[in-house]
Amino acid sequence: AQSVAQPEDQVNVAEGNPLTVKCTYSVSGNPYLFWYVQYPNRGLQFLLKYITGDNLVKGSYGFEAEFNKSQTSFHLKKPSALVSDSALYFCAVLTTNAGKSTFGDGTTLTVKP
Residue ranges in contact with another protein by CB under 8 A? 4, 32, 34, 36, 41-46, 49, 51, 90, 92, 94, 96-106
Which value, to the nearest 10 degrees, does the dihedral of the CA atoms of residues 19, 10, 26, 52 take?
-30
Contact yes or no for 31/3 (Cβ under 8 A): no
With respect to another protein, which residue has the nearer C-beta, 12 or 45? 45
With respect to another protein, which residue has the nearer C-beta, 68 or 105? 105
With respect to another protein, which residue has the nearer C-beta, 41 or 113? 41
Cα separation of 2 and 80, whole Å? 32
